[in-house]
C-alpha cells in the first residue's frame, strides 16, 4: 500500500486540532440589532469589525477558536447549511425560502421583526377579490416561499425573481403584484401600493449546522446556551 505524503498525513492525523468555529452574521439592519446579543453572549470582534472603512469579511474575536464572517443576509443560511460556518443568525424568511435540512434553528432571537406581505397598486386593491384568484403573477425575492403559499390556497403563482426595487414591478408593467418584506409600510405607500395579505411574520433566528452540532456538541451547544442566556437577560431587562 502506497504511503501517504507527509502533507496529507498531517491533514488527516487524529492529533490534528479542531478548526475554528465560524459564526456567520448578516450585513445591514439586522446586524445592528444582533450585535447587542452577540456581545451579551461574550463575543467581542476585533476592531476592524466596527470600522466602516474596513474591507475585511472575516474577523477574529476575543474567544480563541471562534471567528466571525459578515455576509449578505441571504447567504448566511447557505454558509451554515454547507458547513462553511457552524453557527449564524438568519431571518426565518431566508430559512423558509431555502428550507435547508442541514440547518437547525434552536432559538428565536426576537430581533428583525417584519412581515412578508403581498401588495398591489391602490387602484387594483380597491376592486380586487383575492378569493377569486386562480392565477397570479408576482415579483418577489422569495419564489419558493411564495409559490408554496399560493399553492396551499389553490392558486397558481408565476413568480418573477427580483433581488430589489420590487415596488417598481407594478408601475413598469412587469408584474401587477409583489411579495416583499414590510416593516412600516412607508415604502409601499410611497409607491402607491397597498398590503392585501401577510404571508408570514419574520424574526431572526440563531441557526446551527446539524452535523457540526453532532460533531462538536460541547462547543456548538455551549454557544447556543450562551445566546439563550443572553436572550433571557435581554427579556428580563
Matching CATH topology for 21-112+203-236 and 114-200? yes
What is the predicted pLDDT for the residue at 234?
81
- pTM, full prediction: 0.87
Cell numbers found for residue 192: 402607491
Instruction: Please state, in angstroms and rounded to a whole number, the distance separating the CA atoms of residues 25 and 42.
Output: 15
H or E element: which one contains 206? strand 204-209
Domain residue ranges of the chain, discontinuous segments joined by +: 21-112+203-236, 114-200
CATH classification code of 21-112+203-236:
3.40.190.10
Beta bridge partners of 159: 138
* pLDDT tens sequence for the chain (237 residues): 333 333 322 222 233 345 789 999 999 999 999 999 999 999 999 999 999 999 999 999 999 999 999 999 999 999 999 999 999 999 999 999 999 999 999 999 999 999 999 999 999 999 888 888 999 999 999 999 999 999 999 999 999 999 999 999 999 999 999 999 999 999 999 999 999 999 999 999 999 999 999 999 999 999 999 999 999 988 887
Count of residues making up the chain: 237
Helix, strand, coil % over all residues of the chain, rounded to 5: 40, 30, 30
| CATH code of domain 114-200 | 3.40.190.10
Amino acid at each position: 500500500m502506497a504511503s501517504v505524503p507527509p502533507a496529507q498525513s498531517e491533514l488527516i492525523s487524529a492529533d490534528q486540532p479542531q478548526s475554528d468555529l465560524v459564526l456567520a452574521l448578516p450585513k445591514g439592519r439586522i446586524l445592528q440589532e444582533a450585535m447587542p446579543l452577540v456581545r451579551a453572549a461574550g463575543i467581542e470582534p476585533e476592531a476592524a469589525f466596527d470600522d466602516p472603512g474596513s474591507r475585511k469579511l472575516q474577523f477574529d474575536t476575543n474567544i480563541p477558536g471562534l471567528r466571525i464572517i459578515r455576509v449578505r443576509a441571504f447567504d448566511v443560511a447557505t454558509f451554515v447549511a454547507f458547513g462553511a460556518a457552524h453557527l449564524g443568525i438568519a431571518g426565518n424568511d431566508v430559512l423558509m425560502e431555502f428550507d435547508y435540512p442541514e440547518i437547525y434553528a434552536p432559538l428565536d432571537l426576537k430581533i428583525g421583526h417584519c412581515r412578508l406581505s403581498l401588495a398591489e397598486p391602490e387602484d387594483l386593491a380597491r376592486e380586487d377579490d383575492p378569493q377569486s384568484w386562480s392565477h397570479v403573477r408576482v415579483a418577489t425575492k422569495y419564489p419558493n416561499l411564495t409559490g408554496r403559499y399560493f399553492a396551499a390556497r389553490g392558486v397558481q403563482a408565476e413568480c418573477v425573481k427580483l433581488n430589489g426595487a420590487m415596488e417598481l414591478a407594478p408601475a413598469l408593467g412587469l408584474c401587477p403584484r409583489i411579495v416583499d418584506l414590510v416593516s412600516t409600510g412607508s415604502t409601499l405607500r410611497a409607491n402607491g401600493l397597498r398590503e392585501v395579505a401577510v404571508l408570514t411574520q419574520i424574526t431572526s433566528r440563531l441557526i446551527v449546522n446539524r452535523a457540526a452540532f453532532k460533531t462538536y456538541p460541547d462547543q456548538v451547544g455551549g454557544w447556543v446556551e450562551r445566546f439563550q442566556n443572553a436572550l433571557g437577560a435581554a427579556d428580563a431587562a
